[in-house]
Structure 1
């Protein structure tokens, strides 16, 4: 006999509380394992495709691992040093940008930026703060011993975890399915399928869109000759997972830098704007419909709320968990709404049921 609903809620509630408590207490230690699991989940369709074309699971995992190592080495040698160098230079050039902006506004609006005015002081102070704090933060993150150790640990543990999880992914899913409560297994499988569909559409689809657009923005801006084009492309691609935010932030940053660099050469400034316009057209008409689709079910506001709440509670690990948790909660909420709309609480008693209901016995006897 199945447990009463109240008992089931108690046990599932205890399990959820233990999970969040462990996440809060061991967030930093669990980070490599969450990253490894995310990478394995992202690459599982590739392994399945290789298996469908005649490879064993071990061979498919080996091919993916070797390919990933080659890509990582190329990126580490060709992209990361330039990215870090441009980021440091961008932080260092911020005060000069602020002074140039103040000079430009003074020439155009002399009454607004008098010497000693609040606006002028704010611009100068903001540029100086970004230069000092941003540069210090980046240099500290890159040079401190603890950060280097953490980076090394990530680079060692994450790939190992990802390889093992990718190799055993199908067996783990089958084992989890065997442990499901038998009475609720069909419903849990249905919800898990919907969650996987949502995550697959968002993480895999949007991850690919971010990679494509980030690469396009970086290469196009560097071909135009924009300083810090690689950094701008990286930022725009990274933020693309939130609709319109990546293009807006990246576009404003790129056009702002272009105004300082190409002032007077308007065709280059227009070229920077055209780069982002082409990126938006490609994303809206080709990339997102093909790679993500329309059935993701993760509203941008819901996603931002999940990232904010889980990030504040559990740090960077919370931000990694936020997307799958948001997808799972969204699926569960839709399931609860579906059950509610099919219940008597929502539908009430229809007229057909009222007419077909038997008359009270006392009433029928009185009529006789």
Structure 2
């Protein structure tokens, strides 16, 4: 067999192909590869769009199972079987969130409806504030203020009108929610075996290192971001209430929910401060300063720093991974984009180290 392979590689056709490949400039090879990369990317997006609902269901169930794994491990240490521990934690969590939704959801919906009805009046009142600024700084805003108000009013009303559909569209219909809950239970019970078998199948050589990297990245990221979100919500609600911020519960919960995403809390604080600034410039500035101080205190004391030190990722790479995650599975894709990117980076480094070690090994001599 070896002699036949040597004869095939020494044939005139094989040597001609080698010479032809060596004579082609590298830039031509790059140009030939570029359409193939574009085609592969397009096919990947088509497949993602086709299985979008399935991917969203799996991501949501995986996140829930991952979060519920912490209290499950506590029960396992108390000698409770894992299947029973998963069921106890799952139903206890459902009851707690059902009670929270029962008491808070009507108030949040009421505040959202009132906010959607009052935002046009806030935009109209911004005209008088622009006139005051024009008087102070001696600037004429009259030429474009009317057009700006109309455009701003239509854009905000359109966004607020579509926001409930956007939020519900993340999880889909009740059948999808049912599958998410069922899959969460099964993933919680068979979490360790399923994860280990999957990683060992894909990376048979480096599976222990990949498993450690995956667990470390997800543990650090998820714990950090959810701790940040809960802390922001807990501090923002009483702070906004003391500042007499209208719709304080709605705005505080929005900042907390967006705090799960990197840069989400800061961008939401700026947006809410701008909306409150339409009603009162001084209220908007006050909320901006106080909320930014609270956010920085929490990020630097309560939770560890995410970017750079935790994941080893450049902020530009983080932003790109967030955009890819949003394109694949919306808000849920954004939640897992950073730890997956960090794991891919660690895995590629491991594979490159393994390949370099193989190349550095001395050749085996035949005697």
TM-score if structure 2 supplies the norm length? 0.72
Structure 1 counterpart of 2:201: 180
Partner of 2:78: 53
Q: After the TM superposition, which residues 29-178 of structure 1 pair with which residues of structure 2 at under 5 Å, given as runs?
A: 29-110=54-135, 112-115=139-142, 117-131=143-157, 133-138=158-163, 150-176=172-198
Query: Is the CA contact (8 Å cut-off) linking 1:221 and 1:272 kept in structure 2?
Result: no
Q: By how many angstroms is 1:249 displaced?
A: 3.1
Instruction: Check if 1:308 corresponds to 2:323.
Output: yes
Q: CA RMSD in A?
A: 3.8
Aligned 8 A contact 1:210 1:241 in 2: yes
The Cα shift of 1:201 comes to 0.6
Distance 1:258 1:319, change over 3 A: closer
Q: Secondary structure at the match of 1:295?
A: coil
Partners of 2:295 and 2:224 lie apart in 1 by 16
Tell whether the 8 Å contact from 2:233 to 2:252 is kept in structure 1 after alignment: yes
> Is the 2:83–2:189 Cα contact (8 Å) retained in structure 1?
yes
The answer to whether the aligner puts 1:283 opposite 2:309 as a matched pair is no
Match of residue 310, structure 2, among 295, 302, 326: 295
How far the C-alpha of 1:188 sits from its partner, in A, is 2.4
**Inter-CA distance 340–86: structure 2 relative to 1 (3 Å threshold):** farther
Structure 1 residue ranges without an equivalent (≥5):
1-15, 346-368
Partner of 1:233: 252
> For the structure 1 residues 216 and 151, does the alpha-carbon distance in structure 2 shift closer, same or farther, using more than 3 Å as the test?
farther
Mapped to 1, the partners of 2:141 and 2:295 lie a distance apart of 40
Measure the CA separation in 1 of the matches of 2:212 and 2:171.
38
Q: In 2, Cα distance between the equivalents of 1:148 and 1:246? A: 19
State whether residues 226 and 258 of structure 1, in contact with CA within 8 Å, keep that contact through their aligned partners in structure 2: no
Give the number of equivalent residue pairs. 319
TM-score by length of 1: 0.72
CA drift of 1:43 comes to 1.9
Residue 77 of structure 1: how far off its partner (Å): 1.1
After superposition, where does 1:182-221 map in structure 2 within 5 Å? Answer: 185-221=204-240
Task: After TM superposition, give the deviation of residue 191 of structure 1 in Å.
Answer: 1.9
What do the CA deviations read for 1:22-52 (whole angstroms, capped 9, x no partner)? 5332111332222111110222232122211
